[in-house]
């Protein structure tokens, strides 16, 4: 096995541990790497002639990307005592960095998170670059845990309890400047203007050597070692106030569905009043309480889904390289078109944009630049970014202007005839190697491609609204779409920072096909006498970001009616046409866009209020003698049709792996991550249990009758995740 950690001496009395895993794109603290670090420390601790030790990485943009999550995922039958031992072992190793006979410095360039951040805080000092990629943080709560190798011990003693609580319970990373202001970083090195990566690395190393020598001379590191080993001095009143305010904020953010942030806060408050040694013991014991819980397992699964997606090329032949996309055309400058254009421009891809209406083109161009120029810190576009990105968008009116584009994405109105007429004119202007794609959310890719001269270079690239925020992209393979086109579309989406999944052509593709049974059932419940409050409440209690009735208003009831007609035509045995929805559209109750739907709105973006006229509007559509349903039955009626439709998608091989279903629903509709995904959740219940849950509902029709795949799994005891194709 190749060495990951090497020891060198840039100056005779300065030791340098360099991490660079030759087999991975990031440095991960797997057990063998920890053993290498331990062996080097054992040798260095015996030295009395050293001025100090520096830890750095040679990975571009990566210091250490945390512990090896796959090792955590594999530990299924581990006992509480074994978990405590693992946490203690890691913390004890890192503690050695704060006990060496010389100062230790973490020289951080790039991502430094999780176990990497814990290694860094056990060093006496941390020095960071000003690169925007340089971030430090503790994301463990996003995996249903908190730091277990001393992160909760050292961080509050370095930056204060309040700052540590924000960092650790929030799970977000901060850049070098913020870390320096907080006291987490000693200094920030300006490397962004360096002429080369090698020059930047040398600047950081020289600054770290200077810091080592300054600490060795002043002896300040010995003072802080002593200070950071003691309890944190705070009055009971201060602790109680911090605990109350932080608890209220965390509860509001997590809705009580994620236990790790509150557990981390309670640990920080309690262990802060102990010395560092006792606090470490408390951390390990608390870590063991969270590790292996259902939420922890589910969130680790989401991490693994994301990690798998990053490596997926979209096609079976992994040697097939995607074509480089250097320029993009977008046809349609509405909400979706401008959003797609903005996503491209943000990644510095030149965009040619057009629209049939001049006023829409002007507005779409402006919106695209604003989207690209959005700054998370400023919470809006900045002048600097506007000036940078504006030249990358070119508004045109002639289709011949798209001849220079590597990829053209159509995002016009959802009308099959209009799209096909557009393609017939457009295709004559495109280069022989250009890819044409549609952003359609419902129309068959196969039908759209039927008149094309080159259907092999046509596919669906379906973004989700709002494009800037939504990570999912469905890449739709038509009957004649080539592997080269799919691989290029997947590579393009990843280049925009999105998570693409490949789906075979079919009604609703993946996400909308699975979403619609859930939405359709919400209307059936409503016309059965169940209140909006109880329907939306059941969905939100399950973990959805909003209820299905609210979602109708957000999406637009006219849009939902169109999608519903597509699904009803495709699956008339289990998709019920809703007279209520049709009547609401005819009455102009379209949701937020018309300021009235199921709720009323003062402004289009406002949160809806109950509509006092809705009950009267609903009355003619209520079924006679509606049954009283308990909350669990409402939940089952909402989510079991979605699950059954997913089994049909798997049986029809619309996706290549069950995990694509879960990633698609988490990133596409906000399926609760703490359940791990729809099929992961189903696997935790077991197919046999789901069949039993369906029995009281089978009389409602085909949408609640178990599918052959579900029955096979119930009989065999296998899981959905074992169906990996």
Nearest to 331 by CA among 401, 390, 392, 412: 412
**Does residue 281 lie within any of the structural domains?**
yes
**Does residue 312 lie within any of the structural domains?**
no
In whole angstroms, give the CA distance from residue 208 to residue 16. 10
- Measured CA distances, 469 to 173, 340, 370, 372 (Å): 18, 11, 14, 12
Please say if the pLDDT value at position 625 is more than 80: no
Q: Of 237, 266, 292, which residue constitutes the final position of a domain?
A: 292
Do 520 and 438 sit in the same domain of this protein? no
**Does residue 322 lie within any of the structural domains?**
no
Please say if the pLDDT value at position 605 is more than 70: no
Query: Mean pLDDT throughout 308-334?
Result: 93
Task: Give the domain extent around 711.
Answer: 512-723
Indicate the Cα dihedral angle 654, 506, 642, 566, nearest 10°: 180
Cis ω before 466 (30° cut-off from 0): yes
Indicate the Cα dihedral angle 16, 21, 27, 32, nearest 10°: -90
Please say if the pLDDT value at position 1 is more than 60: no
Q: Of 451, 482, 505, which residue constitutes the final position of a domain?
A: 505
**For the domain that residue 178 is a member of, what is the CATH number?**
3.90.226.10
Work out how many domains the chain is built from and give that number.
Answer: 3
**Does residue 298 lie within any of the structural domains?**
no
Buried b (16+ CB within 10 A) or exposed e, 415-431: eeeebbebbeebbebbe
- In this predicted structure, which of 203-207, 259-263, 493-497, 555-559 has the lowest mean pLDDT? 555-559
Do 153 and 260 sit in the same domain of this protein? yes
Q: What is the pLDDT of residue 712?
A: 97
Q: Binning pLDDT at 50, 70 and 90, where does residue 442 land?
A: confident
Residues 56-100 have pLDDT tens digits of: 999 989 999 998 888 887 777 789 999 999 999 999 999 999 999
- Measured CA distances, 358 to 361, 424, 526, 567, 716 (Å): 5, 22, 42, 34, 60
- Return the CA Rg of the chain: 28
Contacts of 294 (CB under 8 A, 6+ apart): 684
Please say if the pLDDT value at position 276 is more than 90: yes
Determine what percent of the chain is predicted with pLDDT higher than 70. Answer: 99
Please say if the pLDDT value at position 725 is more than 60: no
Residues annotated as catalytic (active site), given as ranges = 462
**Does residue 516 lie within any of the structural domains?**
yes
Q: What is the pLDDT of residue 414?
A: 86
Residues 132-148 have pLDDT tens digits of: 999 999 999 999 999 99
Q: What is the pLDDT of residue 604?
A: 63
Do 437 and 516 sit in the same domain of this protein? no
Q: Of 505, 531, 559, which residue constitutes the final position of a domain?
A: 505
């Amino acid at each position: 096995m190749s060495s990951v950690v090497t020891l060198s001496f840039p100056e005779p009395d300065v030791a340098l541990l360099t991490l660079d895993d030759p087999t991975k794109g990031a440095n991960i603290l797997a057990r063998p790497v920890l053993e290498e670090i331990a062996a080097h420390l054992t040798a260095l601790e015996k030295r009395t002639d050293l001025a100090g030790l520096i830890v750095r990485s040679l990975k571009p943009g990566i210091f250490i990307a945390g512990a090896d999550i796959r090792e955590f995922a594999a530990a299924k039958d581990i006992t509480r005592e074994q978990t405590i031992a693992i946490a203690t072992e890691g913390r004890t190793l890192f503690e050695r960095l704060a006990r060496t006979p010389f100062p230790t410095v973490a020289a951080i360039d790039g991502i430094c998170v999780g176990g990497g951040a814990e290694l860094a805080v056990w060093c006496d000092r941390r020095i960071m670059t000003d690169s925007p990629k340089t971030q430090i943080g503790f994301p463990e709560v996003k995996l249903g845990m908190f730091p277990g190798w001393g992160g909760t011990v050292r961080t509050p003693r370095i930056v204060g309890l309040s700052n540590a609580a924000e960092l650790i319970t929030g799970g977000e990373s901060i850049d070098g400047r913020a870390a320096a202001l907080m006291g987490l970083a000693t200094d920030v090195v300006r490397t962004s203007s360096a002429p080369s990566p090698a020059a930047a690395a040398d600047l950081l190393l020289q600054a770290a050597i200077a810091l080592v020598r300054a600490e060795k001379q002043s002896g300040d590191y010995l003072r802080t070692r002593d200070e950071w080993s003691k309890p944190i001095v705070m009055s009971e009143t201060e602790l109680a106030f911090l605990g109350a305010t932080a608890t209220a904020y965390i509860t509001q953010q997590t809705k009580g569905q994620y236990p790790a942030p509150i557990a981390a806060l309670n640990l920080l408050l309690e262990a802060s009043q102990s010395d560092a040694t006792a606090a470490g013991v408390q951390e390990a014991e608390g870590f063991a309480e969270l590790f292996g819980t259902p939420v922890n397992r589910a969130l680790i699964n989401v991490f693994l889904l994301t990690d798998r997606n990053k490596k997926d090329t979209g096609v079976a032949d992994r040697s097939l390289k995607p074509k480089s996309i250097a320029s993009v055309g977008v046809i349609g400058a509405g909400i979706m078109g401008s959003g797609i254009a903005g996503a491209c421009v943000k990644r510095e891809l030149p965009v040619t944009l057009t629209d049939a209406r001049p006023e829409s083109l002007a507005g779409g161009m402006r919106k695209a630049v604003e989207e690209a120029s959005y700054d998370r810190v400023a919470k809006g576009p900045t002048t600097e970014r506007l000036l940078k990105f504006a030249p990358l968008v070119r508004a045109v009116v002639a289709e011949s202007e798209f001849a220079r584009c590597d990829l053209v994405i159509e995002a016009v109105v959802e009308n099959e005839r209009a799209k096909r007429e557009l393609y017939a004119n457009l295709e004559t202007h495109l280069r022989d190697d250009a890819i044409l794609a549609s952003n359609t959310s419902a129309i068959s890719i196969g039908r759209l491609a039927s008149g094309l001269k080159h259907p092999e270079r046509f596919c669906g690239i379906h973004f989700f609204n709002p494009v800037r925020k939504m990570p999912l992209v469905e890449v739709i393979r038509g009957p004649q779409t080539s592997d080269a086109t799919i691989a290029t579309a997947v590579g393009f989406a990843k280049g925009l920072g999105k998570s693409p999944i490949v789906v075979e052509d079919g009604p609703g593709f993946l996400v909308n096909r699975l979403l619609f049974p859930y939405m359709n059932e919400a209307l059936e419940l409503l016309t059965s006498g169940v209140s909006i409050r109880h329907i939306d409440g059941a969905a939100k209690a399950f973990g959805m970001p909003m209820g299905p009735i609210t979602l109708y208003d957000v999406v637009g009831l006219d849009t939902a009616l169109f999608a519903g007609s597509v699904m009803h035509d495709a699956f008339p045995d289990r998709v019920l046409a809703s007279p209520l929805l049709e009547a609401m559209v005819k009455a102009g109750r379209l949701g937020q866009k018309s300021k009235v739907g199921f709720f009323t709105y003062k402004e289009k973006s406002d949160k809806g209020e109950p509509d006092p006229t809705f009950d009267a509007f609903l009355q003619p559509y209520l079924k006679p003698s509606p049954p009283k349903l308990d909350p669990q039955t409402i939940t089952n009626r909402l989510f079991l049709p979605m699950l059954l439709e997913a089994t049909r998608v798997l049986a029809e091989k619309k996706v290549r792996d069950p995990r694509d279903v879960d990633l698609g629903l988490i990133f596409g509709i906000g399926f609760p991550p703490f359940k791990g995904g729809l099929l992961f959740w189903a696997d935790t219940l077991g197919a046999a249990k789901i069949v039993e849950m369906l029995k009281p509902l089978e009389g409602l029709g085909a949408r609640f009758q178990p599918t052959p795949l579900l029955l096979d799994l119930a009989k065999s005891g296998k899981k959905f995740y074992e169906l990996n194709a």
